[in-house]
């Protein structure tokens, strides 16, 4: 009986060790997958839409992508139906990514917060922050200008 208890204890002990090792492997592979996904978050051109699953993953990682989506949809109100497919626009802005727009939006909000106490007038604050942000993100400045300049042609 003692021998049986000793053997059973050893089997149980080794079983727990193997279970622990397997759990660690699974956790590491999930972490690696999450890192690979986050490396690709928002890296497609703003001229394209992500798939539903891509978008859901992005929003899980960073809710700012909800705002980027809203802005992307908003831009469509000011351009012709084929604006985002035009070859000249693709050449000019294909490297402008969703993640860059998200960074821009976060930076804009941060600049507003940092400079809020220096301005009593909201319009002056916005104008000042616009001047700063547009220097930091000239490509976005040009993109926005092209959208509102071109309109429905």
Asked if 83 and 131 sit in the same domain, the reply is yes
Residue 110, domain extent: 45-150
Asked if 143 and 113 sit in the same domain, the reply is yes
Asked if 72 and 146 sit in the same domain, the reply is yes
Asked if 106 and 36 sit in the same domain, the reply is no
Asked if 32 and 53 sit in the same domain, the reply is no
pLDDT at 32: 47
**How many angstroms separate the CA atoms of 50 and 98, rounded?**
9
Write the pLDDT tens digit of every residue in 88-112: 999 999 999 999 999 999 999 999 9
Asked if 22 and 52 sit in the same domain, the reply is no
pTM confidence score? 0.70
Write the pLDDT tens digit of every residue in 51-90: 999 999 999 999 999 999 999 999 998 888 889 999 999 9
**How many angstroms separate the CA atoms of 45 and 71, rounded?**
14
Asked if 26 and 76 sit in the same domain, the reply is no
Helical residues (DSSP H) of the chain, grouped into ranges: 2-40, 52-61, 64-75, 87-93, 98-115, 122-136, 138-150
């Amino acid at each position: 009986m003692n021998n049986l208890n000793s053997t059973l204890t050893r089997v149980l002990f080794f079983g727990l060790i193997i279970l622990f090792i397997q759990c660690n492997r699974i956790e590491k592979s999930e972490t690696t997958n999450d890192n690979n996904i986050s490396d690709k978050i928002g890296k497609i051109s703003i001229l394209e839409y992500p798939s539903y699953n891509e978008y859901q993953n992005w929003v899980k990682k960073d809710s700012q992508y909800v705002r980027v989506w809203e802005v992307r949809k908003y831009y469509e109100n000011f351009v012709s139906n084929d604006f985002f497919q035009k070859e000249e626009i693709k050449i000019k802005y294909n490297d402008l990514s969703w993640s860059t727009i998200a960074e821009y939006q976060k930076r804009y909000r941060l600049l507003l917060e940092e400079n809020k106490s220096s301005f009593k007038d909201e319009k002056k604050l916005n104008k000042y922050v616009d001047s700063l942000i547009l220097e930091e993100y000239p490509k976005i400045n040009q993109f926005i200008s092209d959208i509102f300049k071109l309109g429905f042609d």
